[in-house]
């Protein structure tokens, strides 16, 4: 069994407000992500710096305890908290990533014994939509203690397995659009416009490319 974690500790500086709380399909974006992980993994928790905004939910909250906003601290906190060797880490701001892809990713990772199994999309690894194992915790902490907060750099150092882009795209729900992350008001509005068009059964404007 895997444990699921939604990372909610970003600064949302480009959005101007906490993007994890923005409404998406009738609920805060972070809860939308948590529901998917609960189905796929059975257990799910938030990871971030301030549990106040999620105090009314039944989802556990793991505090990463770092003054820096780097996502690597969230991943390390998740691995330290988890009772499971296999963990599925998902950023709160990639709401289009479907449940089907998360399930397929776990299935692929079951056959791969590596500290991390990471899809590649848009020409780059996606470490915040990836399987991380507890065996990555000690070397990740060592890098953080040395002041290196790069998750992509950690993947190289750990000899993580990267799922090639063409393989990622062929997985259920693995199209590049699934990894679109919402950072700005314009991107959020494009996402909402797409949802409204979906509800009407019509074509939608695509979120802006970054």
* 31 vs 70: CA distance, rounded Å: 21
> Which CATH number does 3-200 carry?
3.90.550.10
Tokens of 91: 């950023």
Q: What is the pLDDT of residues 140-187, one digit of tens each?
A: 999 999 999 999 999 999 999 999 999 999 999 999 999 988 878 788
The model carries a pTM of 0.90
Per-residue pLDDT of the chain (210 residues; tens, 9 = 90+): 899 999 997 665 666 567 888 888 889 999 999 999 999 999 999 999 989 989 889 999 999 999 888 999 999 999 999 999 999 999 999 999 999 999 999 999 999 989 999 999 999 999 999 999 999 999 999 999 999 999 999 999 999 999 999 999 999 999 999 998 887 878 878 888 887 666 655 444 444 444
CB contact at 8 A, 163 and 170: no
Nearest CA-CA partner of 2 in 161, 155, 95, 117: 117
* 155 vs 15: CA distance, rounded Å: 28
Interstrand relation of 23-24 and 86-91 (parallel, antiparallel or unpaired): unpaired
Domain boundaries, the chain: 3-200
CB contact at 8 A, 131 and 101: no
């Amino acid at each position: 069994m895997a444990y699921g974690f939604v990372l909610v500790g970003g600064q949302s500086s480009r959005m101007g407000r906490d993007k994890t709380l923005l409404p998406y399909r009738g609920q805060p974006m972070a809860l939308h992500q948590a529901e998917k992980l609960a189905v796929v993994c059975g257990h799910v928790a938030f990871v971030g710096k301030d549990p106040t905004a999620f105090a009314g939910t039944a989802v556990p909250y793991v505090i990463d305890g770092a003054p820096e906003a780097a996502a690597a601290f969230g991943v390390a906190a998740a691995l330290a908290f988890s009772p499971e060797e296999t963990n599925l880490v998902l950023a709160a701001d990639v709401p289009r990533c479907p449940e089907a892809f998360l399930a397929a990713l776990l299935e692929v990772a079951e056959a791969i014994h590596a500290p991390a199994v990471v899809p590649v999309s848009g020409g780059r690894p996606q470490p915040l939509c990836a399987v991380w194992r507890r065996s990555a915790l000690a070397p990740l902490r060592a890098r953080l203690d040395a002041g290196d907060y790069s998750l992509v750099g950690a993947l190289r150092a750990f000899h993580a397995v990267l799922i090639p882009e063409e393989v990622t795209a062929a997985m259920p729900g693995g199209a590049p659009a699934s990894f679109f992350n919402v950072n700005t008001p314009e991107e959020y509005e494009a996402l909402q416009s797409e949802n409204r068009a979906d509800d009407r059964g019509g074509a939608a404007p695509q979120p802006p490319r970054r």
